Structure formats: C-alpha cells, structure tokens
Amino acid sequence: MEQNEFITTVRRGAVLVVGAFLFGIAANYFNPGGYRFLSPEAISESRIVEIGVDEAKIKFDHSSALFIDTRDGDDYFDARIEGAINVPGFPESLSEKTIKEQFRIISRPLEAVLYCDEGCDSAAVIGRRLLEMGYPRKVYILQGGFGAWAKKKHPLEKSPDAGGR
Amino acid sequence: MREGDEGMDIVRGIKGFLAGNFFLSAIRMLLGLMFLYSGFFKVLDPVSFGRVISAYGLLPGPMVPYAALTVSMLEMVLGVLLLTGTWIRPAAAVSILLMLAFSAAISINLIRGNEFDCGCFELSRFGINERISIWLVLRDLAMAAGFLIVHNARRHPISLESFIEKRRLREL
C-alpha cells in the first residue's frame, strides 16, 4: 500500500513537471513579452550580416577583421584582398579540410569578413559552416565580393608569379 | 496535575498538526498562495526570470529559457493545487524538490563568493532587493520542511480532496 502510494506520488509529480513544461511553452507562445524561439537555421541567418565595401574598408583600416577569400585557389592565387586567407567554398571536402585547419586562426578575436565573386554563394556557405562549428561572433559577407573591392582600388595582394599564369 | 494536562494538550496539538488539522490546511493554503503569486509574475515576464536563472550560472545558456518557462508555470500549478487542496501529496513532493533545488543553487553561489539579487518572490518589482545569503538558504529549507509536513499529513480538512471524499462517502 505504502509502495503504491509512493509510485502514485512519483507518477503524479512527473505529470506535474512535464505538464508545467508544456503549459509553460504554450503560455509563452501567446505572451508578447515572452521568449521568441528561432530555428537553428534562422539563428545562423541572423548572425550572417552583409556589409558594403566601405564598411569592409573601415574594418580593414582598423585591422579589426580577418578577410576570408572563399573563391577557388587559382583566383585567390591571382589576386586577393591584402592579408586574406583562402577557404575555398567548393569542393566541399577541400572546404571542410581547410576550415578545420584554419579554424584556430579564424577564431581569433577578429571579425570575419567573407567574400567571393559577385553573385556567388560560397561566402554564405562557408559563413554558415563556421557558425555550425561554433564560431562565436557574427559573420560578415562583403556585398559585390572581390570585384567590388578591386573596383574601388582598395589594397590588393598578388602572388609574385601570378602574372605568368 | 494541571501542568501535566497542559503538556499533554501541547503534545496532542502537535500530533494533530502533523496528522493534518485546520491550522495545517491554512499553512498549506498560504504556501500555495505564495507560489501562485510568485509564479504569476514569472509567467508574465519569463525573460526577466531567465536572467535571474542565468545569474546563478548553473545551467547552460540554451537551457535557461526552458527552465524559466517550466519553473514559472510549475510554481503557478503547484500554487493552484496547494490552495485548492488537489493532488496534495505530489504537489508537496515537487515543492520540496523545488525548495531543495533553490537552496542548493543559492548555496553553490555563496560558496563561489557571488552576491546578487536572488529573484525570490519577484520582490524586486516593489523595489526590494533580496540578495542571496545564508538566511535565504535557511528560509528555503524551512519551507521545504513545511511542505514535508503537508506531504506526510494524512488529513486535509479544508481541501477539494477531502470535500470530494466526503461526498463520495455520503453517497455510499
């Protein structure tokens, strides 16, 4: 009898806790002052911010950002934003490998500004991947990509033998 | 002889209280009201309560909103059950666990040397900042003891449970 009473108490106690959890979530849904939950995808998207060339240049001048070139290795070799590192967006296997190798550098207390070519999506792909891997800050995407930066004649870096390629 | 009678009266009074009398029912309802009041404000503003939970530094960040929503609603539900006298034993058992969890959370932060507003009973809404202290631990433990007495009592004269049972027996 005592044991039955104990089991009933435990069972009802569990019902109370689970019920409170469900009611709490439901009440929060209708509460304008409550929590707003986002899906993991939406959280990632909210931490990927597009910026223009001028804003990127300010970050560049203040040395507050690490520029990440997500174009393929050949384009990066030809010309890149001064100081940028290369994390190619494609193929995926190379991209994964490079992110893992460079993650410690990328995670330094600097903002990450990613760029590719105009209209490409490799910068956004790499940005999402960085956030998935636990990159703690916002990821900035350079609007207009490398072309927009070069057009403004902002500092570029070329490999010594790039001209002969 | 007279002193002996008084002594027996006191013992009988304590036994009656522990077994469950009107006085214990009043205390149970008071504890229920306290939970109802505390939970009501937390349900209205779970984000503020979440900030209080974060200050204790015991839960990973992503769990804080869920803890805030669950604990605030749990306090409301326990308040209603204790006030009306329904599912008294499970409600008292969960209340004991809640009070022990609060005591442990405060104790851990006292050991860590932290000092901040405890977030108890939403008193900060009225400009009263109750900072964590050993007295709060003792108060929560005293309340846990109160819930234990409610849990162990066999009778609850002022309760929905008792009312329903009486009606059932009358209809037999």
Q: What percent of chain B has pLDDT over 70?
A: 94
CA distance A111 to A148: 20
Amino acid at B82: L
Q: What number is the ipTM of this complex?
A: 0.86
* Average pLDDT of the segment spanning B25-54: 91
CA distance B88 to B20: 12
Lowest mean pLDDT of A10-19, A20-29, A155-164, B53-62, name the range.
Answer: A155-164
Structure token digits, residue B101? 């969890």
Q: What per-residue confidence (pLDDT) applies to B64?
A: 87
- Using CA atoms, how far residue A83 sits from A49, A114, A156, in Å, is 21, 12, 8
Residue ranges covered by each domain of chain A: 1-37, 40-160
- On whether any CB of chain A is under 8 Å from the CB of B40, the answer is no
Q: What per-residue confidence (pLDDT) applies to B2?
A: 64
Give residue B73's Cα distance to chain centre: 14
Q: What per-residue confidence (pLDDT) applies to A164?
A: 43
String of b and e for A17-50 (b: at least 16 CB within 10 Å)?
beebbebbbebbeebeebbeeeeeeeebeebbee
Q: What number of residues does chain A have?
A: 165
Instruction: Give domain status of residue B10, yes or no.
Output: no
What SS3 state is found at A86?
A: strand
Q: How many domains does chain B have?
A: 1
Instruction: Give domain status of residue B94, yes or no.
Output: yes
Our CA-based measurement puts residue A73 at a distance from the nearest CA of chain B, in whole angstroms, of 38
Q: What per-residue confidence (pLDDT) applies to A54?
A: 92
Between A45 and B29, residue with greater pLDDT = B29
Between B53 and B17, residue with greater pLDDT = B53
Q: How many Cβ atoms sit within 10 Å of the Cβ of residue B51?
A: 14
Q: Which of A11, A12, A37, A39 to mutate to test the interface with B (most CBs of B within 10 A)?
A: A12
Instruction: Give domain status of residue B135, yes or no.
Output: yes
Instruction: Give domain status of residue B93, yes or no.
Output: yes
String of b and e for B21-46 (b: at least 16 CB within 10 Å)?
beebbebbbebbebbbebbebbbebb
- On whether any CB of chain A is under 8 Å from the CB of B64, the answer is no
Q: What number of residues does chain B have?
A: 172
Instruction: Give domain status of residue B144, yes or no.
Output: yes
State chain B's mean pLDDT as an integer.
Answer: 88
| pLDDT tens-place string over residues B97-144 | 999 999 999 999 999 888 888 877 766 666 667 788 999 999 999 999
Look at residues A79, A68, A82 and name the one whose alpha carbon lies nearest to residue A130: A68
Identify the band that residue A165 occupies on the pLDDT scale cut at 50, 70 and 90.
very low
* Average pLDDT of the segment spanning B59-74: 90
Which ranges constitute the DSSP H helices of A31-83? 40-46, 53-61, 73-78
Q: Which domain holds residue B65?
A: 19-170
Among the partner residues B46, B70, B87, nearest to A21 by beta-carbon distance: B70
What SS3 state is found at A66?
A: strand
| pLDDT tens-place string over residues A131-154 | 877 787 889 999 999 999 999 999
Q: B130 and B117 in contact (C-beta within 8 Å)?
A: yes
Which one-letter DSSP state was computed for residue B88? H
Q: State whether B69 and A25 contact (CB < 8 Å).
A: yes
Instruction: Give domain status of residue B2, yes or no.
Output: no
Closest-CA residue in chain A for B76?
Answer: A20
Classify domain A40-160 at the CATH topology level: Oxidized Rhodanese; domain 1 (3.40.250)
- Using CA atoms, how far residue A6 sits from A12, A24, B151, in Å, is 10, 27, 11
Q: State whether B87 and A28 contact (CB < 8 Å).
A: no
